[in-house]
Each structure stands twice: as C-alpha cells, then as structure tokens.
Amino acid sequence: MQIRISPSLLACDFLHLEEEVRRTEAAGAELLHCDVMDGVFVPNISFGFDIIRAVGTVSALPLDVHMMTCAPQKYIEALKTAGAAIVTVHNDIGLTEAEMIGVLDAIRAAGMIPSVSLRPKISAESVTALLPHADMVLVMTVEPGFGGQKFMADMLPKIAAVRRAANRLGRPVDIQVDGGINAENAARTAGAGANVFVVGTAAYRAPDMRALLDHVRRAAEAAFCPRP
C-alpha cells in the first residue's frame, strides 16, 4: 500500500495560510489534512467549509477532511461543495451502526472517500462492521481536539488489530494515524500497519519541511508491515 503524508493545517501559521498551503505542497505532501471542530464533540473550534474551499483554490492536493463534530451527516453536501476528497467521521457520535453505515455510504455516493475515526478510548472492534463501507480508518494517537500533544504508544495494538480485520475482509483499507507523529513513531505505527501519516507540529515547526516529510516517509516505508 502507498505511504502518504497528510500535513495538518491546524498547526500552520493561519496569518499566512496561502503561503503555508503552497509551502506544504512544495514540500512533497500527498494530502492536506483539514480538522473541522465544532466545540462540542471536542473542546475546541477550528475552521469551516469556507476555509477548506479557499485552500482548494491554491492547491491541487486532495483535501483530507477530519470531521470532529457531533453531526457530520448534516454537512455532506457542504463538504462536497467545499472540495473535500476524503471525509473522516467519528464512530462515537451517538449514531447506531446502521446509521453510521448510512453516513459512510452517503459520503461515497457524493463522490468522496469515506473514512471512520477511532479516538483513543474506542476499540478496534467497534469498526469491524463498518470496514466494508470505509476506505480508510483513522486511529487517533492523541485525544482529538488540540495539536501539539504527545504520541500515545498504547495505540499501536489497535492499529494492528484494525489492519488484521481489514486483511480478513480482503480490503486494502488505508490506516491513518494522527497525533504527535514524527519519524520515530511513524516507523512504529507503520510496523503495526499504518500507511497514512498526519504530521502537524513536527512539519510546520521544522526548519526544512521537505526534509522532515522525507524523513517520515522513508522511516515509514522501511518499517511498513501490511500483515502485522
């Protein structure tokens, strides 16, 4: 499976958003990670669809939108209009399993890639029934809501469990990790089966973003295990 880096715009300098987007693209990123927070599902508010749409006007990179919101199903059309390529929703927003499947199927029907996220307290087993309907699973390696947190190594078994479940279904599901990712722990998560890496603070505070992303990519490629 392809190793991809998705720098998180939440960590960029918003005063110079256009320059930061162009810098990220020039650094060799494969995706642009956009965190939408509603202040309810997580205790923070970030940005909305107008910002996502604006980002899409200055970059050809696929927009990887992480909906940290209570009711993402209300915004599928808005996400499509904003130019989202991937839409990740959390599976602990109070919907039934059937309703979650409906949300993922609606994202796909709108022409976007459906993805489901697990925050640290949510088990890998909770997405088993959703895997036939999701092309990506995001395993949070910090508590969602704020950047700059420390990577939680106890999420490694969960990553491996999701990869094994996807393998049993014969589905090439991407596994994304988000939270405190750097070259060292990117290798550890890749060894557990992750192949998409959200890099925030480490990328935007690096003296040379391209060198940092290359370092993360090489470390992940060397360690990636599709069957942990």
The residue segments making up the domain with residue 141 are 4-223
Tally of structural domains, the chain: 1
Residue 88 located in a structural domain: yes
Active site residue 92: no
CATH number at residue 107: 3.20.20.70
**Domain annotation covers residue 130:** yes
Query: What string of DSSP letters covers 150-210?
Result: PP-GGGHHHHHHHHHHHHHHT---EEEEESS--HHHHHHHHHTT--EEEE-HHHHTSSSHH
Q: Is 146 a residue whose pLDDT tops 80?
A: no
The one catalytic residue in 35, 64, 135, 174 is 35
Residue 64 falls in the annotated catalytic set: no
The confidence score (pLDDT) of residue 144 equals 86
Q: Among 224, 120, 108, 112, which residue's Cα sits nearest to residue 175? A: 224
The one catalytic residue among 38, 64, 178, 208: 178
Which of 65, 176, 73 has the alpha carbon at shortest distance from 118?
A: 176
Q: pLDDT, tens digit, for every residue of 33-92?
A: 999 999 999 999 999 999 999 999 999 999 999 999 999 999 999 999 999 999 999 999
Tell whether 165 is covered by a domain.
Answer: yes
Q: Is residue 228 part of a domain?
A: no
pLDDT at residue number 210: 98
Note the pLDDT of residue 198: 98
